[in-house]
Amino acid sequence: MANVKAAIPKGTRDFGPVVMNRRNYIFDTIKKVFRKYGYQEIQTPTMENLDTLTGKYGEEGDQLIFKILNSGEYLSDFEIKNQVINDLNDPTFAAASASLNLISKKDKSILELKLGHEDGIKRLVAYRKLTQQISEKALRYDLTVPFARYVVMHQHEITSPFKRFQIQPVWRADRPQKGRYREFYQCDADVVGSDSLLNEAEFVCIYDEALSLLGLKDFTIKINNRKILSGIAELIGKPNQIVDLTVAIDKLDKIALEGVEKELLEKGFERKDLDILKPVILLSGTNEEKLNALKSILSNSMIGLKGIEEIDKVFSYLKNFDLSNAKIQLDLTLARGLNYYTGCIFEVKTNEAAMGSIGGGGRYDDLTGMFGKEGLTGVGISFGADRIYDVLEELNLFPTDVTESTKVVICVFGEAEEAFAIPILNQLRRADISAELFPYGTKMKKQMQYANDKNIPYVIVIGGDEMQSGLLSLKNMETGEQVKVNIEEIMDKISSEKPPH
């Protein structure tokens, strides 16, 4: 067998022990809070049927779905594939396919540039048709669509309202870059089947509790409501351009007011529209002051007032919950990209580090319609685990014992000492202390190095003296302190500490 270079696909990562422990610490903390609020874990398959996923993430999203080659069964339908392959060389086919609008404008223009008009389109169409023939499954692109599929598929088994959380990897064929991976974990909680705004309020509490447990002291949960944005679009007299409007004002942070105005003018909005919009999105003051101002601004918009009422209700719930560290901010420029949101939307930012949002979510009124079950309302949030990891690392918030694995390692000088050590090892483990015995035959220095590399806080050294006296050398690897004590004293010393993660 030829040697193969040990490498992994670009955009993917190995997680070694230290990183893994820290990731587990984050996920375990969030899971604990999800469970405390009554959310239950589910898992869905890594592979979904391709038709479950396509068409749900827009034209660009569809292209970022990793498709799995059919396997085993390919012989049976080889005829069809052969047909596709033959199509490649048939110019009338290409022309016909192009008129069927099978490919997007963007793809068309890229292809025209690269390969010349007809040839390019012909090839793309044939490639897509081939893909359909040789791939029926794809990797999960997010957790939301599989969740919607799950809810419909298991609608007669689930308890309503159904409160579920799900922490699993997703895959996107994006160009990898710093902080953007082709495989990454999503961490979602959703409740479907309840329109109560208590759910929204509790999601704020979940963010507050989980992020506070992780050591964050200063973070803001921004809240807005899609209905308020619809009200603003009504106010301007362009209710059908709600998407253009939200896409533009969502960028206020990045491109400033001038940028937003420029984009809206390009989309067909007029100066007078901007004059109405500007004071609304620039509203300042406390949440209450903003809401009061909005009430009069949107007094003629039914949907706008409904949005205000919803936010009001969430705020009134939140007065009765005691938040630890979260600041709640009504942010009228918060829009969030996803088009399925219909009510309250959230986004979480830390104020302690320069970082994009570390969480977000919102209410949707018809997520399961795509699978034939209409009108099921729900609301959900997501934690950005990779970003939270980076924040905790930057702020030095990982507890030191998170990276601790083994509590104590017994180092021995020879075979007799090894035999002597086994009952001690048993005693430690019986007390649920994570303990190792370094097999004899390795130099003491290397054994010590092992303890050091693995961040093991205690080392017991056993040589001839220790075997005779029964007093073992216990070294504290952090302080360097070394004492000779009996096993009972060792047990006391080590057990009095917190258990390892």
Residues 87-106 close enough to bind a copy of itself by CB under 8 A:
88
Q: Which of 22, 26, 29, 66 binds a copy of itself (CB under 8 A)?
A: 66
Q: Which of 370, 444, 487, 491 binds a copy of itself (CB under 8 A)?
A: 370
Binding residues for a copy of itself restricted to 145-164, rule: CB under 8 A? 149-150, 152-154, 157-161, 163-164
Taking residue 173's Cβ as centre, other Cβ atoms within 10 Å add up to: 14
Given a contact cutoff of 8 angstroms between Cβ atoms, the answer to whether 412 and 421 are in contact is yes
**175 touches a copy of itself by CB under 8 A:** yes
Work out how close the CB of 41 gets to a copy of itself at its nearest, in angstroms, rounded to a whole number: 5
Bridge partners (DSSP) listed for residue 436: 409
The count of chain residues that interact with a copy of itself, using the rule CB under 8 A, is: 115
> Which of 96, 256, 419, 483 touches a copy of itself by CB under 8 A?
419
Minimum CB separation from a copy of itself for residue 170, in Å? 10
Do 189 and 163 form a contact (C-beta atoms < 8 A)? yes
Question: Does residue 275 bind a copy of itself (CB under 8 A)?
Answer: no
Does 68 participate in binding a copy of itself (rule CB under 8 A)?
Answer: yes
Q: Does 434 bind a copy of itself (CB under 8 A)?
A: yes
Query: In 300-384, which residue ranges form alpha helices assigned H by DSSP?
Result: 302-320
Please give the residues from 462 up to 481 whose contact with a copy of itself meets the rule CB under 8 A: none
- The least CB distance from residue 284 to a copy of itself, in Å, is 30
**Which of 99, 100, 296, 322: binder of a copy of itself (CB under 8 A)?**
322
By the 10 Å C-beta count (0-12 exposed, 13-18 middle, 19+ buried), 474 is classed as buried
For a copy of itself, give the closer residue by CB, 235 or 421: 421
337 binding a copy of itself? (CB under 8 A): no
Sites for a copy of itself among residues 192-251 (CB under 8 A): 194, 196, 198-199, 209
Name the residue type at position 209.
Answer: E
In the complex, what is the shortest distance from the CB of residue 455 to a copy of itself, in angstroms, rounded to a whole number? Answer: 10
Burial class (CB in 10 A: 0-12, 13-18, 19+), 141: buried
- Least separation, in Å, of the C-beta of 93 and a copy of itself? 14
By CB under 8 A, tell whether 347 contacts a copy of itself. Answer: no
* Sequential DSSP letters for 422-437: HHHHHHHHHTT--EEE
Tell me: does residue 47 bind a copy of itself (CB under 8 A): yes
Stretch that binds a copy of itself, among 95-103, 234-242, 280-288, 446-454 (CB under 8 A): 446-454
Window 16-45: residues binding a copy of itself (CB under 8 A): 16-17, 20-21, 24, 35-38, 40-45
Tokens found for residue 56: 């749900």
The least distance separating a copy of itself from the CB of residue 396, rounded to whole angstroms, comes to: 21
Positions 105 through 134 that interact with a copy of itself (CB under 8 A): 110-111, 114, 123-124, 127, 131, 134
Strands 40-41 and 472-476 turn out to be unpaired
Per CB under 8 A, the list member of 240, 284, 320, 396 interacting with a copy of itself is 320
Min separation Cβ 187 and a copy of itself, Å: 15
Which of 27, 67, 212, 477 is the binder for a copy of itself (CB under 8 A)? 67
Say if CB 390 and CB 216 are below 8 A apart: no
Which CB, 410 or 474, lies closer to a copy of itself? 410
Nearest alpha-carbon partner for 207 in 41, 71, 37, 430: 37
411 binds a copy of itself (CB under 8 A): no
CA trace torsion 187, 192, 195, 198 (10° rounding): -40
The least CB distance from residue 81 to a copy of itself, in Å, is 8
With contacts defined by CB under 8 A, name the span among 278-286, 325-333, 434-442, 488-496 that binds a copy of itself. 434-442
Cβ 366 to a copy of itself shortest distance, Å: 11
Tokens 């896409």 sit on residue? 247
Q: Residue 400 to residues 28, 32, 276, 497: CA-CA distances in angstroms?
A: 16, 20, 53, 13
**Is the omega angle on the peptide bond into residue 161 within 30 degrees of 0, that is, cis?**
yes
CB 70, min distance to a copy of itself, A: 9
Residue length of the chain: 501
- Cα–Cα separations (whole angstroms), residue 238 to 173, 283, 295, 339, 443: 36, 21, 19, 17, 78
Q: Which residue in the set 108, 112, 118, 136 belongs to the binding site for a copy of itself (CB under 8 A)?
A: 136
SS3 383: strand
Angle subtended by helix axes 242-249 and 226-236, to nearest 10: 110
Strand partners, 380: 190, 362
Looking at 222-230, 289-297, 316-324, 465-473, which segment touches a copy of itself (CB under 8 A)? 316-324
Between 137 and 222, whose beta carbon lies closer to a copy of itself? Answer: 137
Residue 388 to residue 23: CA distance in whole angstroms: 10
Q: How far apart are CA 452 and CA 470, in angstroms?
A: 25
Q: Answer yes or no whether residue 432 interacts with a copy of itself by CB under 8 A.
A: yes
Nearest-Å Rg of the Cα atoms of the chain is 29
Q: Is 117 helix (H, G, I), strand (E, B) or coil?
A: helix
Distance, CA of 355 to CA of 453 (rounded, Å): 31
